[in-house]
Structure 1
Amino acid sequence: MQGMKMKALAAGIALMFSGATFAADVPAGVTLAKKQEIVWGVGTEVPTLDPTMTTDDSSSKIISDLFEGLVSEDTEGNLIPALATHWETSADGKTVTFHLREGIQWSNGEPLTAQDVEYSFKRNADPASAAPYSWYLATANILNAAAITDGKKDKETLGVKALDAKTVQFTLTQPTPYFVIMLSHPSTFPVYRKAIEQFGDSWTRPEHMVSSGAYTLTNWVVNERIDLVRNPKYWNDAKTVINKASYLAIENDTAEYNRYRTGEIDITATFPLEQYKQIKKDRPNELITMPSLATYYYLFNLNKKPFDDVRVRKALAYAIDRDVVTKIILGQGQIPAFGVTPPAVAGFDAPALPWANLTQKERNQKARELLKEAGYTKDNPLKFELVYNTNEAHKKLALAMMSMWKQSLPVDVELANQEWKTFLQKLSQKDFSLARYAWVGDYNEASTFLSYFESKGMNYSRWANDAYDKAMANALAASSEEERQKYYQEAERIFSDDMPAIPVYFYTKTVIKSPKVGGYSTTNASSHRYTRDLYLMK
């Protein structure tokens, strides 16, 4: 979301929000196409369509068309009501009460209730579910979330309670100014209990799924396509225009672009890097570059040698020429990253980091000194494996990293690529040494990037730093936005000193979009683009 709502949310006193809704905004004079069917490219095959189990952007894209949360975002990323019409925050900031819409239903026609919301949050927190985003509830400071996930308390003690069929109340351990924003993330969306209890993991199959969003699932062919159709039970269906949405799983960027050229795809997930200049020349109004809330990393596993040594981690970080990466290899306005939080985040000013102010020649020299101190020389080179998920762009960057490191340092790098689902499993199991990684912000506030590296965060690196955790705790308890930003800057400096991951660049989002697609925001830094907001023109 944009920064306009942040001050109100930060106040945390008797906050009530109501009135706004969302819909496809078709401008006057636009003639709609008779056939309202859209095709998205989503890159790799999605690992899941279960909101509670999602961790990746591709899955979240489709899940956000199938399901809905208490709140959502409009086309510009501003917070708006969704399943709830309004909410209040208590005077002490520790209780947030949501009021659900009258008449909202699941896609099978059954009422969607506050009890469904309570069940879904408790399912997420329950360690038996092994939900990968359970840490998110603790980051949101929901009462007992961390203790439940750790197996120390029963899930029924979670601070989420249905007061009646239309009212659900959250109890927090402390005021959390960005709590409501966090509920726009798919992992917090209600799920249909009866289907889960009857069908287990297969409840997300088309014949079993019951959803709450603008669309329902009709077809899922693994590694090929997913099809959705408009949900007539959706509370805002009257304002929806697109009747069918399809998502094609195509890992090869060139193959995806070729299918766009033939008219099979309306919006790509990405584009072939090597064809950027030609595409920009041939399709200047179709190639769209937007700001993005995302950071590209190489993530260390600190539990594996040699990356338990901070000197080794810093050496590899220093020896990457980010200007070459952003200006020559990528070249679409990406920004060199020396810290965690992208400049597109509302209200955040990055601190001055000493290594960022060195020339690349100076960084390379410092990197050689650090590796030598750690005992690595030409006769005893640093050996490690860099793993990345199958994708041409990731492969090109990995090759560039290997080249830069070998030019400056005594290293022996082995590259390995893995299919997306396998890659995610390896990360979650911490079965890697150095891995390509990226973090897309779950909401527009610095904490979504910084909290990942807290010891209680998702944190595949297994990094734990008491000073970092304390800075983040102080940021949350800050009495003003100015004070909060100072603690965020302190966290950035601590991260830089310990380097649990290598920040490489801050994303821009570039897609190729058919001119016939209307309603697609080109200015929203959030990754969310909902099919419900779009329409096709003649």
Structure 2
Amino acid sequence: MFKSLFFRVVLAVVLLAGLAPFSTAQHIAATPSIEHVEVLRLPSGGYWGHPSPFGFNRGPGYMRASLVFDTLVWRDASGETIPWLATDWRLADDGITWTFTLREGVQWQDGEPFTADDVVFSIEYYLDNPGTAWFMSQVDQIASATKVSDTQVALTLKQPFAPFIQTTAESLLIFPQHIWENVDDPKTYTKPDAFIGTGAYRMIEYSEAEGTYLFEANPDFFLGEPYVQRIEFVPTSDNFLALINGDIAAFDKFGGVTDEMLEPFQSDPFEVRTAPGEWGMFLFFNLEQDTPLQDVRVRQALAHAVDRQAMLERILYGFGDVGSMGFLPPANPFYNPDLIDYVYDPAQAQALLAEAGYNGTPIKLFYAAGDTETARVIEIITNGLEAIGLEIERVSLDQTSLDAAAVEGSYEIGVFGFGGLGGDPDQLRRSFASQSQTRGFSRALGYNNPDFDALAGAQLSLTDPTARRDAIFEMQSILAEDLPVLPLYYTARVVVFNADVFDNWYYTPGGWGGGIPMPYNKHQFIVGLPTGLEIRE
């Protein structure tokens, strides 16, 4: 395969340059006094696809691709939009035309100049290849892209779209026309030039078998030489021990953390930072399938039978929140706290099943195997459902196959976990509106409520914050009544790190890249400071 040859060549170049090869046996030296961080080693958590604009999987994969490829604008620790490939952006009086002024002097990593043509080409390529763009980016909201001048592009939307900057401009990766214009199958394209971006880091190597990735600083990056010079993602069996032993510089965890587990990291050189939950675990009911779940009373019975408080206590150790029936977590500014809930009540669940005339038809429960947390979730779910007489057939898949089943709609009940829940609440439209083109693990299939659809469409163009908040609140109320999905819990977040290696760790309010809640915003590695574009000295 090309990867083997390419990476052998790259490794030879690295060795000739006097740089250390990629080795997980190498430990991180504490270097608090140097001007830059030479090596930042992080846990890989597995293989997340290849880091091209089209080959990555989920948030961790997007994060790796974002090191190589840039977007028009970005976001720092303030949660505010900051200039990136674009230095200015303005909305015309028509409410649908955004004009971006591009940064001058930017180069692709092969030395070719970055131009307005590249931006127009990227948008048109995404539109010509439906389903290839990062699902959070909502590129389908764009009607056209036009080159205004050598330094300006105009993006015209199909309709007023209030969350355009965060969900699209901040997340849509731009790529070079001179490389991709002859590529017919972008998802499988993995030749070396597939990893040429304008980004702060060059992709040096990755291994699907080992789940490893190596990135090195791009000395010609438009902001200057990045503060962190080399980022390595390596496999670990125990992140807590790996951090103590110096094998990694940091790790993050969503929920399932106790004070006792964090005790070894409460003194120098370690630090711990936490944030409320923007990642959740959900039961999605596939209403495209002909199952007893078509009856809302069966869904309500299921909700009453699942002990979500037990999940919070036994799985998250209290480090999180029980799911809200409106889907959005308390961490989201648009969270509606005044919704109907379905407390654990087996007797009520049995009464609802009887009222619905449930006849014992089995329902298939799809989930990803191999994870202790998920195993506990499945145990609590199945114990609760079997106790009320609901027949469940377990279907265990690997994560990739489960995600594929979500896209295909081949599941009946699916256990899906994902983030992005603290970002713009248009997530509700993408996940639940009947006309939404989104497919995947965050999409409620077969759900159709005209009142919800009307609100989902209206909130897109509401620029008055109070009016939009009222619409989003009502959308959550409708979801709580209809129950197309059962939110189980939201995990609080923690990042634990060795401050002597790298100390600029933060959680971005509302997430980055369209809402990703992880503490790996590339801005922190590039600049070395929480905010701004000046690189740390």
TM-score range with shorter-chain normalisation? 0.7 to 0.9
Do structure 1's residue 398 and structure 2's residue 378 form an aligned pair? yes
Q: Distance in 1 between matches of 2:138 and 2:57?
A: 11
Do structure 1's residue 344 and structure 2's residue 326 form an aligned pair? no
For residue 48 of structure 2, give the secondary structure of its aligned residue in structure 1: coil
Q: CA deviation at 1:184?
A: 4.8
Does the Cα contact within 8 Å between 1:195 and 1:203 map onto a contact in 2?
no
Q: CA 1:355/1:211 → structure 2, altered by over 3 Å: closer, same or farther?
A: same
- Listed one character per residue, the Cα deviations across residues 130-153 of structure 1 (whole Å, up to 9, x for unaligned) are 556398123xx322xxxxxxxxxx
Does the Cα contact within 8 Å between 1:43 and 1:269 map onto a contact in 2?
no
Does the Cα contact within 8 Å between 1:75 and 1:520 map onto a contact in 2?
no
**1:77-92 matched pairs, under 5 angstroms:** 77-92=79-94
Q: Which residue of the other structure, out of 296, 315, 334, is the alignment partner of 2:281?
A: 296
Q: CA deviation at 1:128?
A: 5.9
Q: Which moved more, 1:162-171 or 1:528-537?
A: 528-537
Q: Which moved more, 1:47-56 or 1:261-270?
A: 47-56
Q: CA 1:496/1:460 → structure 2, altered by over 3 Å: closer, same or farther?
A: closer
Q: Distance in 2 between matches of 1:460 and 1:49?
A: 28
Q: Distance in 1 between matches of 2:363 and 2:431?
A: 28
Count of residues in Structure 1 that have an aligned counterpart in Structure 2? 478
Residue in structure 1 matched with residue 491 of structure 2 by the alignment: 507
For residue 45 of structure 1, give the secondary structure of its aligned residue in structure 2: coil
For residue 108 of structure 1, give the secondary structure of its aligned residue in structure 2: coil
Residue in structure 2 matched with residue 447 of structure 1 by the alignment: 426
Q: Which moved more, 1:88-97 or 1:293-302?
A: 293-302
**1:356-395 matched pairs, under 5 angstroms:** 359-361=343-345, 364-376=346-358, 380=360, 382-388=362-368, 390-395=370-375
Does the Cα contact within 8 Å between 1:104 and 1:235 map onto a contact in 2?
yes
Do structure 1's residue 280 and structure 2's residue 262 form an aligned pair? yes
Q: Distance in 2 between matches of 1:319 and 1:242?
A: 49
Q: CA deviation at 1:244?
A: 0.8
Q: CA deviation at 1:167?
A: 1.0
So what's the TM-score if we normalise by structure 1? 0.81
Does the Cα contact within 8 Å between 1:55 and 1:132 map onto a contact in 2?
no
Residue in structure 1 matched with residue 72 of structure 2 by the alignment: 70
Q: CA deviation at 1:493?
A: 1.5
For residue 354 of structure 1, give the secondary structure of its aligned residue in structure 2: coil
**1:100-139 matched pairs, under 5 angstroms:** 100-127=102-129, 130-131=132-133, 133=135, 136-138=138-140
Q: Which moved more, 1:515-524 or 1:165-174?
A: 515-524
Does the Cα contact within 8 Å between 1:54 and 1:133 map onto a contact in 2?
no
1:122 maps to a residue whose letter is: E
**1:250-329 matched pairs, under 5 angstroms:** 255-270=238-253, 273=256, 276-284=258-266, 285-304=270-289, 305-329=291-315
Q: CA deviation at 1:478?
A: 3.0
Q: Distance in 1 between matches of 2:305 and 2:373?
A: 20
1:92 maps to a residue whose letter is: D
1:384 maps to a residue whose letter is: K
Q: Distance in 1 between matches of 2:423 and 2:131?
A: 28
Q: Which moved more, 1:105-114 or 1:475-484?
A: 475-484
Does the Cα contact within 8 Å between 1:340 and 1:450 map onto a contact in 2?
no
Residue in structure 1 matched with residue 165 of structure 2 by the alignment: 180
Q: CA deviation at 1:395?
A: 2.0
Q: Which runs of 5+ in 2 are unaligned?
A: 1-30, 512-516, 530-535
Q: Distance in 1 between matches of 2:507 and 2:195?
A: 32
For residue 232 of structure 2, give the secondary structure of its aligned residue in structure 1: strand
2:125 maps to a residue whose letter is: R
Flag the structure with higher helix content: 1
Q: CA deviation at 1:272?
A: 9.1
Q: CA deviation at 1:352?
A: 2.0
Does the Cα contact within 8 Å between 2:139 and 2:168 map onto a contact in 1?
no
Q: Distance in 2 between matches of 1:434 and 1:69?
A: 36
Q: CA deviation at 1:508?
A: 1.6
Does the Cα contact within 8 Å between 2:296 and 2:482 map onto a contact in 1?
yes
Q: CA 1:494/1:42 → structure 2, altered by over 3 Å: closer, same or farther?
A: farther
So what's the TM-score if we normalise by structure 2? 0.81
Q: Distance in 1 between matches of 2:322 and 2:422?
A: 22
For residue 161 of structure 1, give the secondary structure of its aligned residue in structure 2: strand
Does the Cα contact within 8 Å between 1:42 and 1:269 map onto a contact in 2?
no
Does the Cα contact within 8 Å between 1:382 and 1:412 map onto a contact in 2?
yes
Q: CA 1:42/1:179 → structure 2, altered by over 3 Å: closer, same or farther?
A: same
Residue in structure 2 matched with residue 422 of structure 1 by the alignment: 401
- Listed one character per residue, the Cα deviations across residues 427-476 of structure 1 (whole Å, up to 9, x for unaligned) are 11112122221342287322234432222142252323322111111222
Q: Distance in 2 between matches of 1:128 and 1:483?
A: 32
Q: CA deviation at 1:39?
A: 1.6
Q: CA deviation at 1:313?
A: 2.0
2:381 maps to a residue whose letter is: M
For residue 195 of structure 2, give the secondary structure of its aligned residue in structure 1: coil
Q: Distance in 2 between matches of 1:68 and 1:382?
A: 48
Q: CA 1:511/1:344 → structure 2, altered by over 3 Å: closer, same or farther?
A: same
Q: CA deviation at 1:170?
A: 1.1
Q: Which residue of the other structure, out of 180, 200, 206, is the alignment partner of 1:214?
A: 200
For residue 431 of structure 1, give the secondary structure of its aligned residue in structure 2: coil
Q: Which residue of the other structure, out of 464, 480, 487, is the alignment partner of 1:496?
A: 480
1:263 maps to a residue whose letter is: G
Residue in structure 1 matched with residue 524 of structure 2 by the alignment: 533
Does the Cα contact within 8 Å between 1:71 and 1:84 map onto a contact in 2?
yes
Give the share of equivalent positions with the same residue, in percent: 22
For residue 219 of structure 2, give the secondary structure of its aligned residue in structure 1: coil
Q: Distance in 1 between matches of 2:42 and 2:391?
A: 40
Q: CA deviation at 1:236?
A: 1.1
Does the Cα contact within 8 Å between 2:321 and 2:491 map onto a contact in 1?
yes
Do structure 1's residue 36 and structure 2's residue 54 form an aligned pair? no
For residue 518 of structure 1, give the secondary structure of its aligned residue in structure 2: coil
1:125 maps to a residue whose letter is: L
Residue in structure 2 matched with residue 468 of structure 1 by the alignment: 452
Does the Cα contact within 8 Å between 2:162 and 2:461 map onto a contact in 1?
no
For residue 496 of structure 1, give the secondary structure of its aligned residue in structure 2: helix
Q: CA 1:261/1:318 → structure 2, altered by over 3 Å: closer, same or farther?
A: same
For residue 464 of structure 1, give the secondary structure of its aligned residue in structure 2: coil
For residue 360 of structure 1, give the secondary structure of its aligned residue in structure 2: coil
For residue 490 of structure 2, give the secondary structure of its aligned residue in structure 1: strand
Does the Cα contact within 8 Å between 1:44 and 1:420 map onto a contact in 2?
no
Q: Which runs of 5+ in 1 are unaligned?
A: 1-28, 144-158
Q: CA 1:349/1:393 → structure 2, altered by over 3 Å: closer, same or farther?
A: closer
Q: Which moved more, 1:192-201 or 1:167-176?
A: 192-201
